Amino acid sequence: MCVDRLDGIYTTVAFLVGAFTSMACGAFGMHIATLSNYRTTICAQVSLGRAFKLAYRAGVVIGFALVSVSLITLLILIYLYKSLLGLEDISKSPKYYDFLF
């Protein structure tokens, strides 16, 4: 089995981009969590229900932001590798849909 030497480079670049994205998302998430914890503490002095709602919404925002950044990064990597390697879109090939008809 022959393995192209560039496959290791593409894997390394994807790993490093993923690591950087993870670090950036972690820093962003900690910043948002710190701000929302402060707001939740102040809000809890008035009403626990409002404080819970505020903490829940902050968690949802962090979750959606992290998932969207990860998916956008993955999409960019896929399109970049697709253009660099000259790959075609196999989903448009009719042979992959023959089993449906």
Q: Domain span at residue 64? A: 29-83
- Answer yes or no: is 97 within a domain: no
Q: How far apart are CA 40 and CA 48, in angstroms?
A: 9
Residues near 24 by beta carbon (within 8 Å), at least 6 away in sequence: 69
* 101 belongs to a structural domain: no
Taking the CA atoms of residue 85, residue 91, residue 92 and residue 95 in that order, the dihedral angle to the nearest 10 degrees is: 110
Number of domains present in the structure of the chain: 1
Q: Splitting the chain (101 residues) into consecutive groups of 10 residues, what average pLDDT does each group show?
A: 66 92 91 92 92 91 90 92 78 62 59
User: Both ends of the chain: CA-CA distance in Å?
Assistant: 36
Task: State residue 1's pLDDT score.
Answer: 44
Instruction: Note whether residue 44 is domain-resident.
Output: yes
In a domain, 92, yes or no: no
Assess if residue 21 is contained within a domain: no
Global pTM exceeds 0.85: no
> Is residue 96 a part of any domain in this protein?
no
Angle ∠(2,78,65) on CA atoms, nearest 5: 140
Look at residue 53 and tell me if it is in a domain: yes
Which residues lie below 8 Å from residue 70, measured CB to CB, with a gap of 6+?
21, 25
